[in-house]
Amino acid sequence: MKKDVKKAMPLYLVTDRRWLRESLIQAVEKAIQGGVTCVQLREKHLDQKHFVESARQLLSLCHQHHIPLIINDDVDVMITVQADGVHVGQNDMDAKKVREMIGPDKILGVSVRTVEQALKAQQDGADYLGVGSIFVTHTKDDAKKVEIQTLKDICQAVDIPVIAIGGIGQDNLLQLKGTGIDGVAVVSAIMAQDDVFNAAQDLKWKVKEDIL
């Protein structure tokens, strides 16, 4: 799925168990059916064994629907289950080292907040960038805001896909129009909704019509 990185970016779901009203696999399946194009499994409070179990389940589900599964932060889990890729932040393992570990055929995403970080990540082998937090978010306690102008500057500076993340929902999506992004990453805008399928479907159409 490496060749389809840009195709996978429009509606990028990041999981968060705190919002679930059903099992993770059930919620993610509904989100995919609603139009999610990529799934990132983020588990900050799960032991390695259960992280791997969840990753295997989601990998099978994602591949049934022909979309990639990205593992947040944990390169070992990604390698163990042979997920499609891994996403790392500025305080995680260096992107260049991650690329050496996972090889050329896996997807590498990197979180950035500045043009300088974006250019370095691209040089180090990133396939896409996540930029944020664009808006106030309640799903990541340490997230600092990135100005929309900075998002535009990053999009113009790099040749790889860029997605915006952080507090994005239907009420503020239009503010991202014209920034040059290739998609949006969302957590609570899908995971915290009563109807996960419809939330994903509505976002998919809004992103397609208003952003891309």
Report the pLDDT value the prediction gives residue 131, as an integer from 0 to 100.
98
Catalytic site includes residue 177: no
Report the pLDDT value the prediction gives residue 4, as an integer from 0 to 100.
83
Catalytic site includes residue 140: yes
| Active-site entry in 54, 133, 140, 188 | 140
| Active-site entry in 99, 106, 111, 188 | 111
Report the pLDDT value the prediction gives residue 140, as an integer from 0 to 100.
57
| Active-site entry in 42, 99, 106, 113 | 42
Report the pLDDT value the prediction gives residue 21, as an integer from 0 to 100.
87
Report the pLDDT value the prediction gives residue 210, as an integer from 0 to 100.
86
Catalytic site includes residue 18: no
Nearest Cα neighbor of 68 from 43, 88, 110, 40 is 40
Residue ranges of the chain with per-residue pLDDT less than 70: 1-3, 138-143
112-118: list long-range contacts, CB under 8 Å, 24+ apart: 112/154, 113/144, 113/146, 113/150, 114/150, 114/154, 115/150, 115/153, 115/154, 115/157, 117/90, 118/154, 118/157, 118/158, 118/162
Report the pLDDT value the prediction gives residue 167, as an integer from 0 to 100.
94
